[in-house]
């Protein structure tokens, strides 16, 4: 027992460092016409929101100028963040995109504007292509930030389709193995809007996947937990939209390469509309409390913008950088479960170098056995075990799983989220 406890204490420390380095949270946030002035009162709220959400990469829409970017960096973010290169819209400089990132985790490579039109005075906004490399896995991720044409109606739907079509023409040039996502304020009203169908058309090269899809008209109380706008009712003097939460405008869509057993992957179930507890349909986000974030953060979301932030988590480096599979050797090995964190199921992969009896056990943080997962004779080879947490049989939290054979003993950490 003492041996197991010592191993577990070491693993808690080492795995905390591992997850800090290899799991990354990407957040998108329309911050409502952030200019070079009169933002001091809102900066206080943004600071609270970002400290609570803890993004590793933050992508903003509706930021005005390069000076606005510098102001946000100095007055809202701490020294852990850097700003990527700012490039304003080519045609209409009313609202722009910006990116901030933790330079301990990422290195910024480039900002390439996907220009929708070069005609001055048009209402189509450029889409920013931000490219970063993860400092530890050395994998590159491309993040597109879009603020599609607003308002309902056929004319505006066609403008959004034009923007989406231009983007897909760009992503179609990428390798199938490229890791890319699009984030931002899409101003979409339903899943059958032409722009949404274009972005998610699996028959087209360069398409995106919606990790949290809903179907039909988004302005529907059934979809209350998905809504991102508006945080307030009635309106505030800052010009934001009123009406309460009833629209799904803000999205994170991912490339097919970010699913499955690739080196970089979206962590299933991590997609979050920050602050939406599903109980504020057509109401202000801070009305009568908020079960998701508490009153203080709900107030900050109310005053900060008419949109809610959206974030998703990505795993960089669970597997080798050189292969889509775990590193295989002639030794007995226990690999990190995937996905991790997980709910309700995860896969434990292991390799046995010599035939013999194998035991895999699930342990709590005290090193006590919770259940035996495998206890049988195994020929040499590679194996996968699917662990399912059904019907609330165990509380969420940190667990460990151990593999023991005649000559080997391994322990790894996993996180179960309900």
For residue 338, what is the domain's CATH number? Answer: 2.60.40.1930
In a domain, 377, yes or no: yes
Look up residue 115 and give its two tokens.
Answer: 């220009």
In a domain, 264, yes or no: yes
Instruction: State whether 172 and 266 are in the same domain.
Output: yes
Instruction: State whether 339 and 286 are in the same domain.
Output: no
In a domain, 340, yes or no: yes
Looking at residue 16, its pLDDT comes to 45
Instruction: State whether 279 and 397 are in the same domain.
Output: no
In a domain, 358, yes or no: yes
Round to whole Å and give the CA distance between 83 and 399: 37
Picking from 316, 345, 376, the residue at the C-terminal end of a domain is 316
- Split into its structural domains, the chain has a count of 2
Instruction: State whether 278 and 412 are in the same domain.
Output: no
Look up residue 139 and give its two tokens.
Answer: 């994998």
Sorted by sequence, the CB contacts under 8 Å of residue 305 that are 6+ apart come out as 29, 30, 31, 32, 231, 240
Looking at residue 3, its pLDDT comes to 54
Looking at residue 68, its pLDDT comes to 95
pLDDT tens, N- to C-terminus, the chain (418 residues):
555 555 555 554 444 444 456 889 999 999 999 998 767 889 999 999 999 999 999 999 999 999 999 999 999 998 999 999 999 988 666 689 999 999 999 999 999 999 887 566 566 789 999 999 999 888 999 999 999 999 999 999 999 999 999 999 999 999 999 999 999 999 999 999 999 999 999 999 999 999 999 999 999 999 999 999 999 998 898 889 988 999 999 999 999 999 877 889 998 889 999 999 999 999 999 999 999 999 999 999 999 999 999 999 999 974 433 334 433 345 788 888 878 888 888 888 888 888 899 999 999 888 889 999 999 998 888 788 888 887 667 898 889 999 998 888 888 889 898 7
Per the listing, tokens 């597109």 go with 144
Instruction: State whether 347 and 397 are in the same domain.
Output: yes
Q: What does residue 79 show for φ and ψ, rounded to 5 degrees?
A: -70, -5
Round to whole Å and give the CA distance between 371 and 42: 50
For residue 312, what is the domain's CATH number? Answer: 3.60.10.10
In a domain, 327, yes or no: no
Round to whole Å and give the CA distance between 295 and 297: 6
Look up residue 345 and give its two tokens.
Answer: 């199921």
Instruction: State whether 240 and 378 are in the same domain.
Output: no
Q: What stretches of 252-294 show up as alpha helix (H) in DSSP?
A: none
In a domain, 395, yes or no: yes
Instruction: State whether 351 and 214 are in the same domain.
Output: no
Instruction: State whether 288 and 354 are in the same domain.
Output: no
Q: What does residue 20 show for φ and ψ, rounded to 5 degrees?
A: -60, -35
- Classify residue 145 as exposed, middle or buried by CB count within 10 Å of its CB (0-12, 13-18, 19+): buried
Looking at residue 119, its pLDDT comes to 63
Instruction: State whether 359 and 311 are in the same domain.
Output: no
Closest CA to 30 of 246, 304, 404: 304
Instruction: State whether 345 and 310 are in the same domain.
Output: no
Q: Which structural domain, as residue segments, surrounds residue 83?
A: 22-316
For the chain, how are helix, strand and coil distributed in percent, rounded to 5? 20, 35, 45
In a domain, 284, yes or no: yes
Round to whole Å and give the CA distance between 400 and 389: 14
- Please compute, for residue 237, the number of CA atoms within 13 A of its CA located in the half-sphere on the CB side: 4
Instruction: State whether 167 and 300 are in the same domain.
Output: yes
Instruction: State whether 38 and 111 are in the same domain.
Output: yes
Look up residue 24 and give its two tokens.
Answer: 């990354």
Q: Is the pTM of this model over 0.85?
A: no
Looking at residue 289, its pLDDT comes to 92
Contact 96, 127 (CB under 8 A): no
Per the listing, tokens 């988590």 go with 313
Round to whole Å and give the CA distance between 10 and 12: 6
- Could you please report the per-residue DSSP string of 59-99? EEEEE--HHHHHHHHHHTS-TTEEEPPP---SS-TTSEEEE
């Amino acid at each position: 027992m003492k041996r197991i406890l010592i191993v577990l204490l070491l693993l808690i420390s080492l795995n905390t460092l591992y997850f800090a380095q290899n799991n990354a949270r990407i957040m998108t946030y329309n911050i409502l016409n952030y200019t070079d002035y009169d933002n001091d009162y809102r900066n206080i709220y943004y600071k609270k929101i970002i400290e609570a959400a803890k993004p590793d990469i933050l992508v903003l829409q509706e930021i005005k100028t390069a000076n606005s970017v510098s102001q946000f960096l100095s007055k809202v973010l701490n020294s852990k963040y850097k700003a990527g290169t700012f490039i304003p819209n080519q045609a209409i400089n009313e609202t722009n995109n910006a990116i901030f990132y933790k330079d301990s985790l990422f290195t910024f490579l480039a900002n390439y504007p996907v220009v929708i039109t070069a005609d001055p005075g048009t209402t189509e906004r450029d889409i920013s292509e931000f490219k970063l490399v993860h400092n530890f896995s050395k994998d590159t991720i491309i993040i597109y930030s879009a603020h599609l044409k607003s308002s309902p109606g056929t004319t505006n739907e066609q403008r959004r389709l034009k923007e989406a079509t231009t983007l897909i023409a760009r992503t179609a040039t990428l390798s199938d193995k490229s890791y890319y996502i699009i984030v931002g304020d899409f101003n979409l009203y339903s899943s059958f809007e032409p722009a949404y169908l274009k972005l998610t058309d699996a028959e087209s090269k360069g398409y995106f996947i919606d990790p949290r899809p809903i179907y039909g008209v988004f302005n529907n109380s059934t979809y209350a937990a998905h809504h991102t706008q508006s945080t307030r009712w009635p309106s505030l003097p800052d010009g934001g939209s009123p009406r309460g939460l009833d629209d799904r405008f803000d999205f994170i869509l991912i490339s097919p390469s970010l699913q499955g057993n690739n080196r970089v992957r979206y962590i299933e179930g991590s997609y979050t509309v920050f602050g939406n507890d599903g109980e504020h349909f057509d109401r202000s986000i801070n009305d009568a409390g908020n079960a998701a974030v508490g009153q203080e953060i709900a107030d900050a979301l109310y005053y900060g913008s008419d949109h809610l932030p959206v974030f998703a988590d990505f795993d960089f480096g669970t597997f080798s950088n050189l292969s889509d599979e775990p590193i295989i050797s002639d030794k007995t090995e226990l690999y990190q479960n995937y996905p991790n964190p997980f709910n309700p199921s995860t896969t434990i992969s292991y390799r046995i170098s010599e035939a013999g009896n194998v035991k895999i056990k699930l342990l709590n943080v005290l090193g006590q056995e919770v259940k035996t997962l495998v206890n049988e004779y195994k020929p040499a080879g590679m194996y996968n075990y699917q662990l399912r947490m059904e019907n609330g049989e165990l509380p969420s939290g940190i667990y460990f799983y151990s593999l023991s054979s005649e000559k080997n003993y391994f322990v790894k950490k996993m996180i179960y989220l309900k």
